[in-house]
Structures are given as C-alpha cells and as structure tokens.
Chain A
Amino acid sequence: MAGKLTLAYFLSGGCGGCDMAIVDLSETLVDVLPRLEVVFWAPTVADVKYKELEAMPDKSIDVGLYSGMVRLGEQEHIAKVMRAKCKVLVAWGACAALGGIPGMGNMHTREEIFKTAYFDTYSTDNPDGITPQTRCVVDGKYELTLPEFYEYVRPLHHVVDVDYFVGGCPPHHSFVAEAISAVLEGKLPPPGSWITGGKAVCDICRRNPALRGEEREPITAVKRTIEGVPAEGKCLLQEGYLCLGPVTQGDCKALCPKVNIPCRGCGGPIPGVKDFGLRAIGAIAASLANEELVDQIPSPVKLFYRYSLPASMLGRKVK
C-alpha cells in the first residue's frame, strides 16, 4: 500500500474501552503509527471537529473505526458522515457490532428509561419534571440543542452499511493488532464479514473437556459466579456456570474462563449464526440435564442477549 493509510475513529455510544484497547497496543502502536495517519479521532484522542470531518471529500479516508452503538441523533449523523467519507467502515467492538451492554436498554421503552433516570432515582431533584429536549431557549435568546434520544438502541449496521465487524468488549489488544494489520495489509474477508478467527472460545479454552480427553456431560446445576469455586481446569459450563464460550468467537484467547469467569459472549456470534442469543439458548438448553433447571436461569434475556439484543430477532421491547 503506497503512502500512509488514513484512519478515522469515532467513539459513539460506547464507554471508551475500545479506544483504550487500541492504546493498549503500546509498543505495537509505535510500530504501526508511522504507517497510519489519523485524520479524525473524536472525542477522545485528536482535536478534530465534526465540521472538519464533514468537509472532507467523500471516500477520502481509507478506514473508519466506529465504536459504540447508536442511541442519539448525533451518533446517527456521524455514522452517516463516516460512511460517506470512509472507504472501509468497521463496526469496532461489541456495541457497534451488536448493540452491546447499552443495548440491554432495549428491554425498556424510552419513557421507562427517562422515568428512572429523571424522576425515580434518589439523587434526582427534578421538581419541574423536565426530560431531555432537542431544543431549548435560555434567557429568551440563546437557543441550545441536544441530540435526539431515540426510542431504542441500534447496532451500526442498522443505520448504515458496514464493511466489517469486530467483536469484543473491548476487542482484546492482541486481536486489535491482528485486525489492524489485516486492514493495513488488505488481508480482509469479503465485505459484510466479521474479522475473526471464526472459532469459538471452546476451541482455545483449556477447560474444554474435549481438549482434556474427557467426555462432555450434561449440566446438572445452574450456578452464579458468586456460588462456590469452579473446579480447577474443569469446564465452567459443565460445572453449571453458564458460560457462553461455545457460542462466542474466541479471538480473546479464552481470557475470562482462564480466570474462572464464564464467557459472557462479548466476542459475538460465530460467522453464519444469525442470532447469538437464540443459538446460546439452543446450545445451553440442550445441555441441561433436566427441564427444571431452565427455571433457575435468572433473567435469560439479559444473560443470553447481554451484548446482542439490538442486533437480534427480538430487537427491542415493542410495548
């Protein structure tokens, strides 16, 4: 690739963790930086304004990384601008690709969220009952605007066409290096794909019974992570800790199971799987020793769709 690769980065509805994942590259970043030219990185790293991005010619940026989901009008606007300006647009991390943790807000309507945030919480003092407005006039002359708070959360590809998806909350820095070098070297799968090794966490997890020469057994109890201590080296799922490793891309190198924490599914579904939660329910329900155990799973939607509710067939609460 001749010359420097131009990069735009936008932190949308996320938490900034995905930005940190790139910074976490540390020395690797030093190697990569000479080949990169960051033309836009808002709001965290570079001081480039929206209007400057808007002024750039269409398709002038090589790669755009969009992290975070779309909840506000502003986020939707920049998504569209990024799409116009970038040749390749990547949904960067679980929020952009699937809706992420904030996507669980789709279990509630906007009114319910406002009611909790602006009325019901103990620390709220809101005698006039004001909720966020898109416009307001202060002192009779200063017109202020706020981006619209949409009815529900959307993943990036529900707003604009997305070329590639990268999972993780945040993506693990070793995989970030892989993904960025894949972009730099143009070693990319067909557009619309996930950038991933394509195999599940179990593929690499040392607790996988198959890799230990053991047979998988049905799950006989459902446990929360605070209950008991998982047996050394044993499959967490089999022990009853509902680990989503079988359903989740393992580009993280099975970090969580390594430290006794069941996989929460941030890596996203294996390519070809349409609906993460549905697959997870199918796989885990089938593995339970008896039907009664189903009742012991607390809040199944928030467990199985923790990162993927907005991108799922369920999508959101309708009424």
Chain B
Amino acid sequence: MSRIGVYVCHCGENIAGAVDVEEVRKYAETLPGVVVARDYLFMCSDPGQELIKQDIRDGLVDRVVVAACTPRTHEPIFRKAVENGGLNKYFFEMANIRDQDSWPHWHDREGATAKAKKLVASAVAKVALLEPLEDRYVDVTRSSLVIGGGVAGMFAALDLANMGYKVYLVEKNPSIGGNMAKLDKTFPTNDCSACILTPIMVQVGTHPNIELLTYSEVESVEGSIGNFKVKVRKKQTYVDWDRCTGCGDCVEACPARVPNEFNEGMDKRKAIYIEFPQAVPKRAVLDIEHCINCAKRAIGTEPRIHSKTGEPILAPCEKACKTGACDRSKPYNPDGEIMELSVGTIIVATGYKVMDKTPFKEYSPQSPNVITAMQLERILSATGPTEGELRRPSDGEKPRTIVFISCVGSRDKNHHTYCSKVCCMYMLKEARLIKEKYPNINIYIFFIDVRTAGKDFEEYYNYCRGLGIKMIRGRVGAVDELAGDRLRVRAYDVDLGVPVELEADLVVLATAIEPAPGLEELGRKLGITCGSEGFMKELHTKLYPVETPVKGIYIAGCAQGPKDIPESVSQARAASSAAAVPLAMGRVLVEPLISEVDQEKCSGCGICVPLCPYLAISMVEYREKPLSRINEALCAGCGVCAAACPSGAITLHGYTSAQIHAQIEALTAGIGGGANV
C-alpha cells in the first residue's frame, strides 16, 4: 500500500479566499492510502517544498499530491522537490484547485470547497497507481527551419546560420525581403529601407549555411522538438533557376500585363516577372495564370515549325532568353516539387499584410486618389510606379493637399479592436518625407490618439509638428469624390468641438496590420492556435514571448502581433537564440509520458499506425507476425493510439486506463446512484 502525502496550498488568498483549506486538508486525511495531509501558505516557496522533502526523507510518504495551482507552471518545481527528497519524480500528481476551482467559483465557498475535495480525491486515486518513470533524451537534428523571409525571418536565419547551424528559409514569394522591401524610408531615423535591407538580403542569399527556398510554402509538419519532418512545396516557376541569371530580357519581351503586387496594384508587371529590382534570388518567375501562351506555346508542348524557314516558332520570352532558362517545351509539373526537410527547431516569421481599402465604403475607396499608406510608400519609393515622384494616381498631378486618416480598421470594433501600433509613426514619417521635400504641400493628419511610444519617437513627432504638419484630433466621417479628381474630407474636430471640412487631392488611409494570409492554416499544420485577432499565440506574454505551446517552434515578428522593424528584429534574434538552445544541446529531454505497445497483447490489426500524428508507429516483425511498435524518440505522448487500440495493448505511461478510471471513479463517487464507471 502506498503512503500518500497530500499538501494543500493556500496560494495566499488565491485559493484560501474561496476554499476552506482546513476542511480540504482534513478530508484528504480520510482518503485511502493518505498518511499525512498538510497545508501551507505557499507550497511553491522553499519552506513549502521543504515540507514535502522532509516527509519523504523521514520515510513518511512515498507518493505526493500537491493541491495548488496549475501544473503548467508548477509541476516541474514540485517534481524536482519530490526528486530531491529521494523519490522518483513521477510519483507526483497535482490537483489544480486554483485555476479550476477557487478562481472560477470565487463566490461559492461551499461549492468550491466540495469541488476541491473531489479534485484532491481524484489526484489521490491516481497517485496510488502511478509507476516510476525515467526521463529520456532524444538526439536533435542540428538544423532549423525559418518560415517567412521578411526582416524578422532573415535575421532569425542569419543568427542561426552564423552560429553554425544549417537553416532552411522558406519564403512564399519569389524573393526574400518581405514588406520592408516595399518601404521607402524607415522611422525614426529615416534611413532608406532598401539601403539597409539589401545587404542583409545578400548576406542571407549567399550564406553557406542558409538554404533559400523561395516561391515555396510549408505543406505539412510532423514530428516534435529535435526532429521535425517538414514537407515544403516549391511552387512551379516554369523557369529553370539553375540557368536563369535574372537579366530580365524575358520580362522585357513579355506582352502580358498583370497588376503588380509589389507596387500594391498601382502599375502592371509582366506575366513573366522578377519581383523587384533588388530581388534575392534575382530570378524570373512565370505567372502561369496570366500567361497568354504566345505563339500557342503552352507549357510542355513542342513548338510548331515555321512553314517557310523550317525554324521552330518560339514565344517571345523564350526567344529573349540567352541562357535557355526559359524553355516552354519542358513538361513542368504545375504542382511544383515537394521537398522533405529534417529540422530540429522551427521559427515562424510570416509577417503581416495591410488591410485593403475596399471595406471602408465611407472613404470612397473607388477613387484612385484614396490610397493606403503602403501604396503611398510605393509612390514615394524610387522603385515604385512613379519612380519616387509624388504624383496622385488619377492623373499624375502633384497633390497640393494631402489628408491622412489614422486607425482605419484598427481600434474599430467593426474591424479590429487592436491598435496596429506602427500607423502613427509611419503616417508621421510619410508626412515628414513629403513636407521636407515639398514644404508647400498642405498635410493634415486626422487622429484619435497619437501613439508615439518608443525610443526617439516622441521627438520625431514633435519635429513633424514643427514642420507645419497639421494634426487634428477627430474621426473622419466621410470622404466624398468631387469634380476635378478632388476629394472632400468631412470630420469632427474634437478639440475645437466643431465639424471640419477639407478639400484634398490625395487621401491616405492608415489601414490596419493583419496577420499574413494563411497564418491560421499554417498554425493548424504546426499545432499552434491563433488568437481571435488571428495572430499566433505565444506561450506566455511576458515570460515566454517567442515560444509557442509546441515545443521547438518559436515565433518572431508580426506573426505574433503588429510591431515595428526594431521590435521585429529584436524578437527575431530572441527567437533564434531560443531555437538554437536545443540545437546547441544536441539532445532534448523528453518526458517519459509516452505510449508503449505490449506486443504480447497486440493483435496486429494496425489501426494505430495511420492515427499517429508523429508517424511514430510502424508494424515490425515480432515472432513471425507484423505487430505494432512505437518509436519512443518520435512519440509525443498524445495518447491517440492508446485510446483507439482495440486490444487495449497500448499503454500511455502516466495516463494508464487504470489511473484514469480511478480518477473518474473518485470524481463521480456518489453521483447518479448506480455503479460508478
């Protein structure tokens, strides 16, 4: 018979405020197998842990139940205490009488106390049946996957690569660079975005430890920390990248025109295109959906032969290509190619997208002169549709009055309740760049609150005001189109308490930052949930900001929430150091709470094999019959196989059927009247 010690924690007032701790302690003494029940103000404190250790050293107890807070944060502490006392650390069970009891039932002392008793009884019932387990380690594949090639992803990849680890950098677009590559200047120093970003892109592109997988997307992720198996789909480029030199001759020759995503749809690119001039890798991609198959040269067909010359009739892109990279006769697979990677850790840095203007009907989104701030950014950029000339889209005239509207889609219960954090600063930046260049242009910024928290940000704001940029507190109610491509902006000035009406040539909407499209789906593949606002959830806001609930997977940049470049870079470098830890250690501790097959009981039906999300189960010959076997290095202890095994041959250690039944029985004792299950 086991000798169980029960330790009930007051957690200051957190538990004692709603639960009669003394009553729970007395009740615990009456439970079968319990030899001692104590209570203490803070069980996790040194003296609290000492109580447990002393009882073990005195030979009083050989199983420990702590009724306190959540095992998520505190189980490791108490396991350690149990181990230091001299017991196997898995002879321990926690009853969560805080998060699952005192907090939710704060105003029902009687009910909370009764529930605490049940939770304690259930833990006691289980602890009696626990078996000693040994920790185990698995070897780590010393490589990492970074998803997203924006500024965060690039820095994460560079850091890991510089530490000596192999890094796979997956980017869905043809080039790395991300949103930052689209920016003209960056606050608060106004340095040219391309000037500071391009060298980084080149470093990433040429780093011997970085394998760049652009125009690729993550297809599936299996395995667990130390040993992830990732399938990446390299999308079909229809151009032989081994031969392509990025000269751009094919682009020149291509007659098909498509709205240019890189310039936010404000001009056209070709069907065969290089994403932007500084692209890394600088390679052409054929957008097959918009290719018009010149000379009837559908991909994978032989060219027709000219009846007179006897020469094959080629498409312009092929003709222009000097290296043979563009060969339309090749039978390209439209699905591209699947690559399988083995990595030890993963960093998600998928970035953001800015909201489109179309949902904001009140701001006349149909007008070409109502643009998003990202579109303005492209107009200001030397590589943009106007090559840096400030011209409004409708007629190419230089605007005389520009109005910025803040919080479009942010801090708005109809769209996103959160603050996009960077809009105040980028509006000020864009306004300042224009004002410094063209002091005669009138600039108005309508705002709800100006939020310029950050190093040198407030100074930047004050400087902008000094330049004569007019700040008006108040929401804009409507933007109407007027004759002559003019726009009327109607708002309410909260400070003066009067309606304001302005005429402008260009209206810039500071639209909200949203998670990159497909983030939720990626989250499903990785096992990470996204919050209601769609950004990925970190493990703990304050203490584990780059970790996720899935061990070995980390997040950086705007995948986690809106942030500016300095923050994204710091977070990326934090994520890379977190992701490097398992790689540096070379092996990771895996709890022994994994499943095991009793081959004497296994009937070899194989039902468990396809169920395992970690591909840990296979059929292996045993006594001349193929029977199920679990690879303990891959098993993550989810228990799916144990639940499904028709023969009851699979045991999930730490959660055996007997242990779970005992818990259920304790929890349901006295309910219903019939025999307990």
Contacts and interface: CB of A to CB of B under 8 A. Distances in A.
Interface of A: 198-203, 208-211, 213, 215-218, 245-247, 250, 269-274, 279-280, 282-283, 286-287, 313, 315, 318
A287 B644 contact: yes
Given A200-B646, A287-B644, A246 B605 contact: yes
A270 B601 contact: yes
A50 B595 CA distance: 52
Contacts of B601: 198-199, 270-272
Of B625, B647, B648, most A-chain CB atoms within 10 Å: B647
Contacts of A287: 607, 610-611, 644
Contact of B605 (A200, A218, A273): A200
B48 interface: no
B258 interface: no
A97 B539 CA distance: 51
Contact of B603 (A203, A213, A313): A203
Given A210-B626, A216-B609, A286-B611, A246 B603 contact: yes
Interface in B637-674: 640, 643-649, 657, 661, 674
B619 interface: yes
Given A274-B661, A282-B644, 18 more contacts: A199-B601, A199-B603, A200-B605, A202-B604, A203-B603, A203-B605, A209-B606, A216-B606, A216-B609, A245-B605, A246-B647, A247-B646, A269-B648, A270-B646, A270-B649, A286-B607, A287-B611, A315-B674
B677 interface: yes
Of B606, B625, B644, B674, most A-chain CB atoms within 10 Å: B606
B677 A283 contact: no
A286 B644 contact: yes
B23 to A, nearest CB: 32
Contacts of B625: 203, 211
Contacts of B677: 313
B647 A286 contact: no
A205 to B, nearest CB: 9
Interface residues of B, number: 24
Contacts of B644: 282-283, 286-287
B675 to A, nearest CB: 8
A282 B606 contact: no
Nearest to B677: A313
A210 B646 contact: no
Nearest to B643: A282
A146 B432 CA distance: 102
Contacts of B609: 215-216
Contacts of A202: 603-606
Contact of B610 (A208, A217, A250, A282): A217
30 contacts: A200-B605, A201-B603, A202-B605, A203-B604, A203-B625, A208-B604, A210-B605, A211-B604, A213-B626, A215-B609, A216-B609, A218-B610, A245-B605, A246-B605, A246-B647, A270-B601, A270-B603, A270-B649, A271-B601, A272-B647, A273-B646, A274-B661, A279-B648, A282-B643, A282-B646, A283-B644, A283-B645, A286-B643, A286-B644, A287-B611
B669 to A, nearest CB: 15
A273 B643 CA distance: 11
Contacts of B626: 210-211, 213
Q: Sorted from nearest, which 5 A-B pairs have the closest CB atoms?
A: A200-B603, A202-B605, A246-B646, A286-B644, A246-B605
A200 B645 CA distance: 11
Contacts of A271: 601
A144 B609 CA distance: 61
